[in-house]
Every structure is written in structure tokens, then in C-alpha cells.
Amino acid sequence: MARARGLAELLEDRPPDREVTAMARRIARRLALRRPRDPRASRGRGAPSPQPYRYRSDDIDLDRTLEVLTERPVPEDTDIVVRERTGSPRAITLIVDVSGSMRGEKVRIAAATVAALSGDPGGAGDRLALVAFWSDAAVLSTLDEPATPGVLLDRLLRIPARGLTDVGFGLSVAHTELARARARERRRVAVLLSDAVHNAGPDPRTVARRFGELHVLLETDGEHDAVLGREIARLGGGRMAAVRTHRDVAPGLNRLLRG
């Protein structure tokens, strides 16, 4: 039977991996996701803030763009920084599938996702919770516990390798955490990062229906179940985006979290 696990009993007792922490910081600088513009911005609400170019605003922040380009000899579109307006804060819960081995591209995808969602450069006050799941699940960071991408990724990687995958239980634990959102956080978002290969526990589609906005980042670098991933997103009132490498994460999240 699936159960929620505490950090004290779960995490392996070892110091943080400096190389992984450094990698998370590099990815945070390169792939950090800026808050998508609130639809009310067109009516003048919110203060302009630096955002990556997403084919909307043409108000280029030249100084910040030059800072980015000095580190990126081969720039991408999102390396151009523009000024956009932001709106009200969001509560976000990231649900990461840690079944199997967390290594290689899977680690880089997790690092990019954590880094992208844990920053709040627009100053809108977004809060992030992190839930890891396998056949069980654990809250690695609550909405009330701000943590850097390096700390969050270190906690993910200190979970011993697991086999079975109970997507539904991971969603259930995340739904409970998201229910703790503040009243002013009217937009409550869940993002599932998984290959959606569900092989333990009840059908996760039942739990997906409880969400108001549940998106799926489907890892496609190995075995995956796109049909189930798409169904979970649809029933959760969200969308699905496929990610094969860590470079797909920021564009994928931009598509999922817009508007």
C-alpha cells in the first residue's frame, strides 16, 4: 500500500553532490523560466519586469539581453530579454517521477524543470512545492519552504533508486499540498514531470479529475505512455508537452503555463 514518506526516513545520509549543485545553478541561469504574462497585463495591471522573449513583447531590455549574450555565444530566441507585465501570484506544485534511476538526461531534465519553476524574477510572489513519487511519495519542499534549485535537486537525487511507479498516489499527495495555497493565490497549478508509465496503484485518471489545472511534462527520452499522459492533462484541466532533453523544458513550460 502506498504511503507518504518523511524526509528524515527517506533521504540517504550523504553530503550534497557539488557537481550536481553546480549543474543546477548553470541550468538555472540558462533556462530559468520567467513568469508568463497575465492576460490582464494588456489592461495595464502589474509592473513591467524582465522576461525572455516569447514572441509577444517587442520592448527589448538591451542591458539584460547583453548580459545574457555574453554567456551564450550561440543564442536562442529566449535569450532575448524583453519587458512584460505580471499579475497575481500563483501556487505551483511540481510532481517529479523518481522511479528507476535518476541519472543522465533524466537528471538534467529535472534540474531544468526545478530551476525554471523555482525562480520568481517577476516579483509576483509565486510559491513552489516539490513532491517526489515512485510507489510511495514524499513532499520534498512545501509551499511555505522556499528553497534554491540546488537544494531541491539535491533532495531529489538523495532518494534511493526505486522501481514501481504509482502516478495516482503522487498526484494525490500533490493535491493535498496544493490545497494549502493562500486565498490570494487564485491560480493553483500542478505540473507532473514523468514518463507516465504507471505500473502500481489505482488508475491515476481518477485523481487527475480533482485538479483545476494539472499539466504534464512527458519525458520521452525512453519508454513512455503518451496516451495516459495526455489523458491525465485533459482530465486535470491542463495540457501536455513532450520533453526529450533538458533544452525542451523551458519552451514546454512556457506553452503549458501561458495565460
Q: How much is the average pLDDT of 60-71?
A: 70
Among the listed residues 153, 83, 178, the one whose alpha carbon sits nearest the alpha carbon of residue 121? 83
As to burial, measured by CB atoms within 10 angstroms (0-12 exposed, 13-18 middle, 19+ buried), residue 83 is: middle
For 229, the enclosing helix (H) or strand (E) is helix 226-235
Between CA 127 and CA 175 the distance in angstroms is: 15
User: What is the three-class DSSP state of 147?
Assistant: coil
pLDDT, tens only, 20-51:
667 766 766 665 444 444 443 333 345 555 66
Q: What pLDDT is attached to residue 84?
A: 57
d(CA 140, CA 22): 20
211-238 pLDDT, tens per residue? 999 999 999 998 999 999 999 999 999 9
* 197 Rama sector, left if φ>0, alpha if ψ -120 to 50, beta otherwise: beta
Distance (Å, whole) CA 224 – CA 199: 12
Q: How many CA atoms lie within 13 A of 163 on its CB side?
A: 0
Share of residues in the chain with pLDDT > 70 (%): 69
Q: What is the pTM of this model?
A: 0.77
Mean pLDDT value across residues 175-203: 92
12/172: higher pLDDT:
172
CA distance 240 to 149: 23
19 grid coordinates: 557537481
CA distance 120 to 167: 28
Alpha-carbon distance of 246 to 111, in angstroms, equals 8
CATH code of the domain made up of 4-32+88-257: 3.40.50.410
CA-based Rg of the chain, rounded to a whole angstrom? 18
Would you state the pLDDT for residue 197? 94
Calpha distance 51→32 (Å, rounded)? 10
pLDDT of residue 115: 82
